[in-house]
Chains A and B, each alone.
Chain A
Amino acid sequence: MTGLPVAVLLGGLTVLLAVVPRLLWRALPWFTRVQCSRFAAFQGVRIPPTPPPAGWRSPAAWRQLAYHLLSPFVGAAAAFLVATAWGGSFVGLLSFLPPRLEPPPMVFEYNLRDGRVLGIFMGVGLVLLILAPFLARGMAALDLLVARTLLGPSRSELGQRIETLTESRAGVIDAADAERRRIERDLHDGAQQRLVSLAMNLGLARATLTDLPEPARVAIEQAHEEAKQALKELRDFVRGLHPAVLNDQGLDAALSGVAARAPVPVRLRVDIERRTSPTIEAVAFFIVSEALTNIAKHASATRAEVNVRRERDRLHVEVYDDGCGGAALDGGTGLRGLAQRIDAVDGSLRLSSPLGGPTTIEVELPCE
């Protein structure tokens, strides 16, 4: 007759041992979230999240578990210490009041009517009163330190994360670059050829159909001019996107095209023995073309200079103009976008542009 209760007991124990830890393990991220939001709410501190526990082997999960087991004790100890300090100061400072508030004698005998004892009590109370806020802060800091150590990512995890981010960033940049090249190729094979053909046919019609009535001739003329304009706009767009010449011939050739089209005279010097990666080439091209556009738009310069040279694994790009200066990275100019693209490949940018000019942009890019 005792079989049933024993079975129930054993079953219950099994359930308790097998299911509860698993549930707790599952609930781990939830506990962590609660704790993190506690720190966010009371201390205004954001504890960076760790990757979600992948399994029993995840050190982050075990650290979290350790925190949740430890934190009640830390919390309790801290609360006790702080409460004692505040309470002690209260009692000490008020010990001059009539003996109704007098605490019962504890380990040693004392007499609060004795002036010296009263002095010591009040002194200790004062010290505790001064120390209590610091103690409370210290405990909060300790709490936070423990949480950061155990709930936040460890040093190696952070290192790993930086590595992953660096890799994925490089991937994103390369992908964007490849996408630009693909769009350029598509436009070249498609729309550009079609537009050239259209403009040519309209030009042919314009040249040969001279006996058409006036309105028809005017219409053809207009269509021809517009087709040529569209062609020019498309060409300029493709050039800004990722010029084919950059792929085929490298930076030197692509830059001489940009410099030749600039409205101010540009002196161009390119000294690159070995071609850099396509991404760096694209960034360097973008820098020079953006800088020259800026010079044309804002600098009212009479001349500009572009120097590009490769020194071992660094590519130096320097753009100079004798214009009015006053260029700023946070201005409405294209320099901001430029800085972002340089940042994305871990390059550095130096801008010198005093009011009245001249302006020099110096950029250093890692080649690999």
Chain B
Amino acid sequence: MRVVLAEDSVLLREGLIRLLDASGMEVVAAVDEAEGLLRAAEEHRPELVITDVRMPPTHTDEGLRAALLLRRQQPGLAVLVLSQYVEERYAAQLLASAATGGVGYLLKDRVADVAEFIDALRRVASGGTALDPEVVAQLLLRGNSDPLERLTPREHEVLQLMAEGRSNAGIGQALVLSEGAVGKHIGNIFTKLDLSPAEGDHRRVLAVLRFLRIRSLP
């Protein structure tokens, strides 16, 4: 898999290159600011872009803006955004940015759990999603007349794990439930949220995320 990486800390950039190399991905370009990211993505046409949010020159959100721009320019490009803190509005913008192509938004800390991180990368690259549990928690927080309030605590947990991008089996493992029970919970969630259950893991997750996205926007 061809990857373009944007990260302004040299240490972390070098470390990520090593990590991706070790996992059999090819880092075709590694840059340290947003302009460079746009150029490299134009030039190399990668399958996946990994970018930090806070980068020079202003050290605010140029990485995120570059990611959003790239998703408009290259539909289908998978983008994983890493950040020192997660912000639901960024998540909402990312999710809203395109209907196709995987998207991920993780805390930088998550790179320490190598296997899970690589897993998330692969999921995003293949068109799935990887949202940090903290983002999901924030998205679930909002709202007033709240369809989510109709969910039982267990269904809440299932929805949270679904939004992170886990499969039924993964959810079952995390909550110590059989896959059948997970399926039943998910069915209930869709009924309560007025979503018609669609086929396939991936599309269900997107449906839930779309719902979260709508709720997270004022």
On A, residues with C-beta under 8 Å from B are 188-189, 192-194, 196-197, 199-204, 206-208, 224, 227-228, 231-232, 235, 239, 243-245, 248-249, 253, 256-257, 259-261, 266-269
Q: Is the interface of B mostly helix, strand, loop or mixed?
A: helix
Q: Which residues of B contact A253 (CB under 8 A)?
A: 87-89
Known contacts: A193-B12, A203-B112, A235-B109. The answer to whether A257 contacts B85 by CB under 8 A is yes
Interface bin, chain B? 20 to 34
- By the criterion CB–CB under 8 Å, are B88 and A256 in contact? yes
Q: Which residues of B contact A200 (CB under 8 A)?
A: 12, 15-16, 19, 111-112, 114
Query: How far in angstroms is the closest Cβ of chain A from B18?
Result: 7
Q: Which residues of B contact A201 (CB under 8 A)?
A: 15, 18
The 9 closest A-B pairs by CB, nearest first: A199-B112, A260-B137, A203-B114, A193-B9, A260-B138, A197-B11, A207-B114, A197-B15, A200-B111
Q: Which residues of B contact A232 (CB under 8 A)?
A: 109
Q: How far is the CA of A224 from the CA of B113 in the complex (A)?
A: 9
Interface residues in B78-120 (C-beta closer than 8 Å to A):
84-89, 108-109, 111-115
Q: Which residues of A contact B11 (CB under 8 A)?
A: 193-194, 197
Known contacts: A196-B12, A268-B141. The answer to whether A203 contacts B87 by CB under 8 A is no
Interface residues in B168-206 (C-beta closer than 8 Å to A):
none
Cβ-based interface call for B134 (8 A): yes
On B, residues with C-beta under 8 Å from A are 9, 11-12, 15-16, 18-19, 22, 54, 60-61, 84-89, 108-109, 111-115, 134, 137-138, 140-142, 144
Q: Which residues of A contact B108 (CB under 8 A)?
A: 192, 196
Other than the given A239-B85, A248-B54, A257-B87, 7 more pairs (CB < 8 A) read A188-B54, A197-B12, A201-B15, A231-B112, A235-B109, A260-B134, A261-B134
Could you give 22 example pairs across A and B, Cβ below 8 Å? A193-B12, A196-B108, A196-B112, A197-B15, A200-B15, A200-B19, A200-B111, A203-B114, A204-B22, A206-B114, A207-B22, A224-B112, A228-B113, A253-B88, A253-B89, A257-B85, A257-B86, A257-B134, A257-B138, A259-B141, A260-B138, A268-B141
Q: Which residues of B contact A197 (CB under 8 A)?
A: 9, 11-12, 15
Which of the residues A203, A244, A256 comes within 8 Å of B54, measured between beta carbons? Answer: A244
Query: How far in angstroms is the closest Cβ of chain A from B97?
Result: 18
Q: Which residues of A contact B9 (CB under 8 A)?
A: 189, 193, 197
Known contacts: A257-B138, A268-B141. The answer to whether A248 contacts B60 by CB under 8 A is yes
